[in-house]
Amino acid sequence: MSITHPAWAMNGAGNAFILIDARQGGPLALSEADVRALHAAKPFDQLLALEPDADADARLRVWNADGGEVGACGNGTRAAAWLMFEDGGSESLALSSLGGLLKARRLADGSAEVDLGAARLDWREIPLAREMDTVRLDYAVDLPGGWRLDGPGAVSMGNPHAVFFVDDLLALPLAQIGPVVERDPLFPERVNAGFAQVKGRDRIRLRVFERGAGLTLACGTGACAALVAAHRRGLTDREAVIEADGGELPVRWDADGHVHLSGPVEMEGRLEL
């Protein structure tokens, strides 16, 4: 496998990406094995590709480290939009994706804020295997040593999230809990498992075990899901800073249901793939 398009290593609050700019070519033909081979050579959380699109400024595709193509990546969308803004042109843009149309605008500090669309809250949209109240799922996970977590909120941001609210985030063995939640039969498409400690009406500490990637330094859609799930329970306002291991992600859930994400992006360098 040889990729001739320009490619960069980037990160959004520590969330690690390889971004391939294929806007001057056709769609990339990448198998799961190809993605896994790229990950073995240069580890990443997600592989991103920009491709031409007749109805948007570009098409954004996302693969997890395990090779599976997914519908959304919040920090990846920010990184892709930032790169396009750096190329010059408009101060706003639209990206098509498997998860729907994603809009971005350039902020005064040069960063990109993305509108990831409306949070999806119906059990069929997550999706779940059976009907359930997504404000607090009738679901618990037990692990050896007496660990038990229950009643997560469920939100889809174009990809499925289950958000547990905890008192002491750092005390939890997330490397053990994450895989159990990710592959539970309740979640037919697997799930991103979030663990949130609410620190105030406008601040949440969060770690996310991402499906197909494991524990990451940040998860943009996970940050959005955490705010939505917390506000639905009355724990926070509609806007908060989400503290990830790799940095802070401001999130806003508008009254129209759309969720907006901003935060830092770092360009690490050009790659030869």
53 vs 192: CA distance, rounded Å:
28
With vertex at residue 115, the alpha carbon angle to CA 131 and CA 204, rounded to the nearest 5 degrees, is 70
What would the two tokens of residue 267 be? 């360009």
CB within 8 Å of 13: residues ≥ 6 apart: 75, 217, 218, 220, 244, 246, 247, 248, 249, 263, 264
Of 47, 162, 219, 261, the active-site residue reads: 219
Active site residue 224: no
Q: Mind giving me the DSSP string for 201-217?
A: TTEEEEEEEETTTEEES
Q: How far is CA 57 from the centre of its chain?
A: 21
225 closest CA partner among 246, 210, 245: 210
Q: What are phi and psi of 88, to 5 degrees?
A: 100, 175
Output the CA–CA distances (angstroms, integers) from residue 267 to 78, 82, 83, 123, 270, in the order listed: 12, 10, 9, 37, 9
Of 73, 149, 157, 198, the active-site residue reads: 73
Positions annotated as catalytic residues are 73, 219
